Homo-oligomer: A and B are copies of this chain.
Amino acid sequence: MSTQTDLNVRILSYVDALNEAVEQEMELDENVFVIGLNVDDHKGIQGTTQGLLEKFGSERVMDTPLSEDAITGICIGSAMAGMRPIHVHIRMDFLLLCMNQLINMAAKAHYMYGGQTKVPMVARSIIGKSWGQGAQHSQGLHSMFMHVPGLKVVAPTNAYDAKGCMMAAIRDNNPVIFVEHRLLYSTDAPVPVDPYIVDFGNARVVGEGSDITLVGISYMLIECLAARDLLSEVGISAEVIDPVSLMPLDIDSIASSAKRTGKLLVVDNAWTTAGAGAEIVAAVCEQASLSSVGRMGYASTTCPTTPTLEKLFYPNAASIATRAFSMVRPKEKQWKPDVEPILPHEVAFRGPF
């Protein structure tokens, strides 16, 4: 991350980093445009599209009807003609209306048409959590897109990667599913002013360790880092890895860490069955047989709205630490950290929308 040593680095929120990435790409390339319901309103998708309308006009910052299926196809067609659409979805759950166009057309066009056409587009999607988001506003569906050749999937977990991955996604000549998480929006990090790219396919070790490898996907990386602190208090050293991009997936970095620690726990911000965690665990086990592997993620239920049940639906620092402890010290009796860390953005976060 050499660019981080630049002089012109400031602390920026995830929201502002996304906003800046899009604004800079729109300045650099007139073919880039933003489209989606309410991208032009005063809330500006929680601020991520704020100011773009004023700067670039309604031809390049387009509000839409509620027609996700058609708008996706329209993005694909405009991309085939050389434009670079960024289609914004305020909840990832709504991508389920776009599956036919994303999977039957966007993912396949370049191949099915023998390379005669390309589909450079970005589908931004926000995963919701808490405040009773419930069954239909909380899903993390990234594994469905990882499954299909022709699509790329990225899930940056900090403001620096948010900007770098967004610029890379916009410049990419393939459809990119951009996975954001509502609870990451208020987090901040040092972000260079100048445009820069975070290349896909490079996992990042965000906390070194020797006893177990924790892979945290999307928002769950934050919980894994907090779990790492809890574990250190009982003398367990956990290495925490952020895959950053899920397709392409940097499985080798994850595998080499897991081989070193001998233990792998993948914590996904989604269901586990046939999920990203299954892919990572299976791919690592194909390379080497570890003493212990595990997956955590959403409970195998629909997401309830009531906070008391919702709390049990998601993994958290404590439950991750407990699981990791039992993997590192299988003989010892179960351990539960007594403190449950409150995560900064949870304080900052203003529900419900």
Which of the 9-residue segments A96-104, A191-199, A233-241 touches chain B? A96-104
> A97–B291 Cα gap in the complex (Å)?
42
Number of this chain's copies in the assembly equals 2
Query: Quick check: A104 and B96 within 8 Å, CB to CB?
Result: yes
CB <8 Å contact, B271 and A302: no
**A189 at interface (Cβ–Cβ under 8 A)?**
no
Determine, out of A1-9, A121-129, A170-178, A293-301, the stretch whose residues face the partner at the interface: A293-301
A259 to chain B, nearest CB (A): 13
Among B108, B147, B294, point to the contact of A275 (Cβ < 8 A). Answer: B147
Min CB–CB distance A103 → chain B (angstroms) = 5
Tell me, in angstroms, the Cα distance from A111 to B299 when the chains sit together.
13
Contacts of A108 in B (CB 8 A): 135-136, 302
Check: A85 CB closer than 8 A to any chain B CB.
no
Cα–Cα distance between A279 and B268 once the two chains are bound (Å)? 14
Contact B286–A295 (Cβ < 8 Å): yes
Contact among B150, B292, B293 for A302, CB-based, below 8 A? B150
Given A96-B104, A282-B277, A302-B108, A271 and B148 contact (CB-CB distance below 8 Å): yes
**A273 contacts B by Cβ under 8 Å:** yes
Q: Which residues of B contact A69 (CB under 8 A)?
A: 69
A274 and B271 within 8 A (CB): no
Give complex CA distance A291, B286 in Å: 9
State whether the Cβ of A247 lies closer than 8 Å to any Cβ in chain B. yes
A241 to B134, CA, bound (A): 38
Please, which residues of chain B bring their CB within 8 A of the CB of A295? 282, 286
Bound Cα distance from A292 to B287, whole angstroms: 9
Indicate if A186 sits at the interface (CB-CB under 8 A).
no
Query: A194 to B268, alpha carbons, bound, how many Å?
Result: 46
Q: Are B293 and A285 in contact (CB under 8 A)?
A: yes
Q: Say whether B96 contacts A143, CB under 8 Å.
A: no
On whether the beta carbons of B291 and A289 are closer than 8 Å, the reply is yes
Please give me the residue from chain B that is nearest to A105 by CB atom. B136
- Which of the listed residues A93, A147, A270, A281 has the most CB atoms from chain B within 10 Å of its own CB? A147
Whether B302 contacts A112 by the Cβ 8 Å rule is yes
Closest residue of B by beta carbon distance from A107: B302
The answer to whether A290 has its CB under 8 Å from any CB of chain B is yes
